């Protein structure tokens, strides 16, 4: 059986006119003799409206009811797509997660799919039907609805591709694919034809909004190739695949930047074994993600200055946790919200010397000072003043010839 999994994001199903258009996309694959499994998000804005309603009702909304509430958004788009397909002469019906069922763990709000029972969907495909499955949701072993967190519909599509052994997994969105950098910030940004899981994972983690990191990780672990393309324009998109499938001559694949980082510095921390853990443990317990970390030891070895970055929305909570932390002693706490992170990503840097020098020299040539540095095997990130972000991205994009 030649199965293709198609996933449509919120903007793709945002209006009834757009739903009519994607029904035509779905029917196009049927005409090519594919058995089509469609995964859909809620219509754009619906989930945010449901979240707002939950906050209006309670500032401590029950987690299982929160999932039941949010999962209703996909039910609407499922029924509308199936209804349109029936209207144009195809057999189709909506499927909620509990009807299949799609089994998840018990982590409300950020569940992971454990198993998909295939029999009902396979039988429906064999009967000539087009199943429209609600993304973003599953049920746990207590028969309670669960949701999969940000990018959850992508995760639904990837896991369906895995369990149904699909030939293709295509993510339809409002952009043509993955770009070398944000095309809204740099007009010379170029669409990437093929990118590795590892590069895409770094780009998603560092601010690229095409897909969420957890979905990319699911695809990587299960070796599911993903084709990201636009539901509005009939053009080839970006293929996300394993490294050995990629042949390119560029060292750097893409550049990302963020605008919601804050830098926190603790001056004169009394140095002792375990002090860093004492600082970061309360942050971890409060779901505050710490990114770049730099530690400087004083000449006498008795004090250290510790700098790290967090998301700006976590700054007030972080300041409070540090000031109330009786396990650490320091002389001064300094925060800076006027910072941004710029990163270059590419598997080519593994075997190419001089990439770090080229990045740093390019920034220096444009009068951009580096505040913090963080590296991995295929990524170099630097923290700079927020006012220099556009200049930095433009300069690095040119230095590594990403527009060519």
Domain that holds residue 168: 3-174
Which residues does 217 contact at the CB level (< 8 Å), separation at least 6? 201
Q: Look at phi and psi of residue 209 and say left if phi exceeds 0, alpha if psi is from -120 to 50, else beta.
A: alpha
**Does a structural domain hold residue 77?**
yes
The closest of 307, 380, 384, 381 to 340, measured between CA atoms, is: 384
> Which residue would you say has higher pLDDT here, 88 or 217?
88
**Does a structural domain hold residue 140?**
yes
Please report the sign of the dihedral spanned by the C-alpha atoms of residue 257, residue 310, residue 374, residue 214.
negative
- Per the listing, tokens 């999969």 go with 148
The closest of 135, 54, 151 to 96, measured between CA atoms, is: 135
φ, ψ at 255 (rounded to 5°): -130, 130
For residue 394, give the H/E element and its range: helix 389-399
pLDDT tier, 401 (very low <50, low <70, confident <90, very high otherwise):
very high
pLDDT tier, 165 (very low <50, low <70, confident <90, very high otherwise):
very high
pLDDT value of position 207: 67
d(CA 292, CA 271): 20
Contact 122, 113 (CB under 8 A): no
Q: What is the mean pLDDT of residues 277-286?
A: 93
Work out the percent of the chain whose per-residue pLDDT is above 70.
99
**Does a structural domain hold residue 41?**
yes
d(CA 172, CA 10): 10
d(CA 210, CA 249): 24
pLDDT of 49 above 90: yes
pLDDT value of position 28: 97
DSSP state of 263: E
- What is the chain's mean pLDDT, rounded? 93
Collapse the DSSP code of 59 into the 3-class scheme (helix H, G, I; strand E, B; otherwise coil) and give the result. coil
**Does a structural domain hold residue 65?**
yes
pLDDT tier, 61 (very low <50, low <70, confident <90, very high otherwise):
very high
**Does a structural domain hold residue 62?**
yes
**Does a structural domain hold residue 108?**
yes
Task: Please state the domain count of the chain.
Answer: 1
Work out the percent of the chain whose per-residue pLDDT is above 90.
79
**Does a structural domain hold residue 25?**
yes
pLDDT tier, 299 (very low <50, low <70, confident <90, very high otherwise):
low
**Does a structural domain hold residue 252?**
no
What global pTM score does this model have? 0.86
- Give me the CATH number covering residue 169: 3.40.1160.10
Q: From residue 39, give the alpha-carbon distance in Å to each of 54, 136, 137, 379.
A: 25, 9, 11, 32
């Amino acid at each position: 059986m030649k199965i293709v999994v198609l996933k449509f994001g919120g903007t793709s199903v945002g209006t009834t006119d757009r739903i009519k258009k994607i029904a035509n996309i779905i029917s196009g694959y049927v005409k090519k003799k594919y058995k089509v499994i469609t995964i859909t998000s809620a219509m754009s804005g619906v989930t945010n409206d449901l979240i707002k309603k939950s906050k209006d009702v309670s500032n401590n909304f029950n987690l299982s009811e929160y999932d039941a509430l949010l999962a209703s958004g996909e039910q609407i788009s499922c029924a509308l797509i199936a209804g349109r397909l029936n209207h144009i002469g195809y057999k189709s019906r909506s499927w909620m997660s509990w009807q299949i069922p799609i089994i998840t763990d018990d982590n409300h709000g950020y569940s992971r799919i454990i198993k998909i029972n295939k029999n009902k969907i396979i039988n429906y495909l064999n009967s000539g039907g087009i199943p429209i499955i609600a993304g973003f949701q599953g049920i746990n072993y207590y028969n309670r609805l669960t949701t999969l967190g940000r990018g959850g519909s992508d995760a639904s599509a990837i896991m369906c591709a895995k369990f149904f052994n699909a030939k293709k997994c295509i993510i339809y969105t409002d952009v043509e694919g993955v770009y070398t950098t944000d095309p809204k910030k740099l007009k010379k940004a170029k669409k990437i034809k093929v990118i590795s899981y590892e590069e895409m994972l770094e780009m998603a983690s560092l601010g690229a909004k095409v897909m969420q990191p957890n979905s990319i990780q699911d695809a990587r672990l299960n070796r599911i190739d993903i084709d990201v393309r636009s539901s509005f324009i009939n053009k080839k998109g970006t293929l996300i695949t394993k490294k050995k499938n990629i042949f390119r001559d560029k060292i750097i694949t893409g550049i990302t930047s963020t605008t919601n980082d804050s830098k926190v510095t603790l001056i004169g921390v009394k140095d002792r074994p375990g002090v860093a853990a004492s600082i970061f443990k309360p942050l971890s317990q409060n779901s505050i993600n710490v990114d770049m970390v730099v530690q400087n030891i004083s000449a006498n070895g008795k004090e250290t200055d510790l700098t790290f970055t967090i998301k700006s929305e976590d700054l007030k909570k972080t300041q409070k946790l540090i000031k109330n932390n009786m396990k650490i002693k320091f002389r001064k706490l300094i925060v800076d919200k006027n910072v941004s992170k710029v990163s270059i990503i590419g598997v080519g840097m593994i075997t190419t010397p001089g990439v770090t020098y080229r990045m740093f020299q390019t920034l220096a040539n444009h009068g951009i000072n580096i505040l913090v540095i963080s590296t991995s095997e295929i990524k170099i990130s630097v923290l700079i003043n927020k006012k220099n972000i556009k200049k930095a991205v433009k300069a690095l994009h040119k230095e590594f010839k990403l527009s060519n």
